[in-house]
Structure 1
Amino acid sequence: MKYESAMSTVMDVRSEYIRTRWAFVDGASMVSLLSSLGATDEDFERLKLVSDQLESDPTLPFRKSRNGRICLDPRTRRGYRLETQPFVLSREEDFVRHDSETLRGFDEVQDDLQLNTALQAMLVFKFLVIHGVDIARRPRLDYGRAEWICTLFNLRTVTTAGLLGEPALEGVHSDGVDHTMTTFLSARNMTADSAETFLHDMREVNGIRWNETDPALVRGRVGHRDFLDTLLVVDHEYKHSVSPVYQIDDTESALRDMLIFFTRKPTEKGHVSFRYDSVAPHRTLPMSFGMPAALALVN
């Protein structure tokens, strides 16, 4: 796909996002788009294997995880890696789970992911879709700031004979941000009806399981099945839930690998994450990349 055609497609996704407040892009379209934004064929292949390097999760026994914080700055048209900070989500942000309000420390995303050109192109793509979109605003976020804070998670959900993997153990929830993007990397031994994402009206009850929700309040249903299938959601206008990962062969583990991009404006005093929202660059894992395509929105 030529660059001009890719930008036209991105703007079509943006228009759909503005109209319906969510958008789904199939993996084949994402590959074409990201290639036009600088992703290489070699890095697509590396991305499929990056989750094999994940470590254990701080609170969930069926999950392996890493995370990292990235600033997307339209003023400089650059993205850069931020220093590590504890991660916390609260009940006030529509996240109800046993570890709500708990400071969690994750193993850090390494260069094998953050220097991947496909990953960097995904961050540019998300910026182009979300920047300047008028949304329902969350309390104690600074919408006067130009930059975006993106917390990136690389997650593997594992189901075994004795342990059910739940991509969203918390049930119906929001992610405490402005825009959530979820991108599928791969799965092994996972049934076709596993890990379906349901979008719910904001009136749905926080914390109830995906199969206990009111069908009248379901606003969308999506399955991530192919490499780079991607869902974007205005996080403070829809809640969401995800069904479990089920095994095809119950003698083997089922695995589901994802990238999750939580993106919001910087916090203000009084926000649960205010003390953990530094915009200082990472000293030992530096990374930066250009966003020339941002000219389409900021000029």
Structure 2
Amino acid sequence: MREILSEMGATDGDFAELQRVSESLPPDPTLPFRRSRNGRFVIDFGGRRIERAEYQPFILSKEEDFVRHDSGKVREFRAIQDDLQLNAAFQGLLRFKAYVIDGIAIQGRPRLNHTSRLWVSTVFNLRTVTTPDLLGEPALEGVHSDGVEHTMTTLLGHSNMSPDSAQTYIHDVKEVNGTPNAQASRDLILGKVQHRSFLDTLLIVDNERKHSLSPVRAVDTSRCATRDMLIFFTRRPTEPGHPTHPYDSLRPHREMPMVASF
């Protein structure tokens, strides 16, 4: 992945900055063990450009295969800043995902505009923190989908994290949403992977596979353990009646513009 992003213009300085960007994350609006920012980017496959979209609240519902205490709740995340969106390695990751998903036949989700050449990519920069008193759960919701069409996850770094931490399990869609990771049926697990090195990346067709993660555990339990990620949720625009439709603007961001061609 580093070689691919370098070919797209990322420098050693960009990679170094990307590994540090999670240091400034503010507290998450609903999860005490997480720090977060998010931002929305419109991928225009017709115009071959990616543009930062204006800020919108975020909602993910049970109807979209996400079962958690804050399902259906409108959440207000702090916004991704220029230190991330103007980073050439980050822009390369957006381009990479656009190249990979373009033209791929998938099982689409209901109440999305399946003829649109515009796709919405909501990006989360997340740090999961485990302390001596609090266990960090990258997926507290257990087995789930993300309510989109493609989910891409990229590791930025980790510290004091045990080798068996944050393992991603891929589940058949028959698995019940909200099932705790440790209680999921072994017969419905299709694969297991783990992000261990900088830029390790996983791409899931979100409406055809479910996934879950094991907790972040500390090697030295007297100190904090951290895991820093970029999560790229990508889908076509919503239609009326979709839970997210009121928060699905495609207008550009006026205060923090960003445009990248691909």
TM-score clears 0.5: yes
Aligned equivalents of 1:270, 1:249: Cα separation in 2: 48
Superposed CA deviations along residues 158-195 of structure 1, whole A, max 9, x for unmatched, are 00011000000000000000000000010000001000
Instruction: Name which of 216, 221, 228 aligns with 2:192.
Output: 221
Aligned equivalents of 1:113, 1:269: Cα separation in 2: 32
SS of 2:95 mapped into structure 1: helix
2:229: which partner in 1? 258
Instruction: Name which of 63, 68, 74 aligns with 1:92.
Output: 63
Superposed CA deviations along residues 56-110 of structure 1, whole A, max 9, x for unmatched, are 0000000000000000101211111000001000101110000000000000000
Unaligned 5+ residue runs, structure 1? 1-29, 292-299
| Equivalences for residues 235-274 of structure 1 within 5 A | 235-274=206-245
1:104 paired to 2:75: yes
Aligned equivalents of 1:215, 1:236: Cα separation in 2: 20
Q: What is the aligned-residue RMSD (CA, Å)?
A: 0.5
Instruction: Name which of 150, 172, 180 aligns with 2:143.
Output: 172
The count of aligned residue pairs is 262
2:28: which partner in 1? 57
The one-letter code matched in structure 2 to 1:84 is Y
Aligned equivalents of 2:261, 2:15: Cα separation in 1: 19
SS of 1:56 mapped into structure 2: coil
The structural deviation recorded for 1:256 is 0.3
1:70: which partner in 2? 41
Q: 4+ residue runs of structure 1 moved beyond 3 angstroms? A: none
The one-letter code matched in structure 1 to 2:116 is R
Unaligned 5+ residue runs, structure 2? none
Aligned equivalents of 1:248, 1:170: Cα separation in 2: 24
1:148: which partner in 2? 119
More helix by share: 1
| Equivalences for residues 117-156 of structure 1 within 5 A | 117-156=88-127
Aligned equivalents of 1:59, 1:282: Cα separation in 2: 25
The structural deviation recorded for 1:259 is 0.2
* TM-score (norm: length of structure 1): 0.87
Identity %: 58
The structural deviation recorded for 1:251 is 1.1
Aligned equivalents of 2:52, 2:103: Cα separation in 1: 22
2:6: which partner in 1? 35
The structural deviation recorded for 1:40 is 1.5
Aligned equivalents of 1:137, 1:76: Cα separation in 2: 22
1:189 paired to 2:136: no
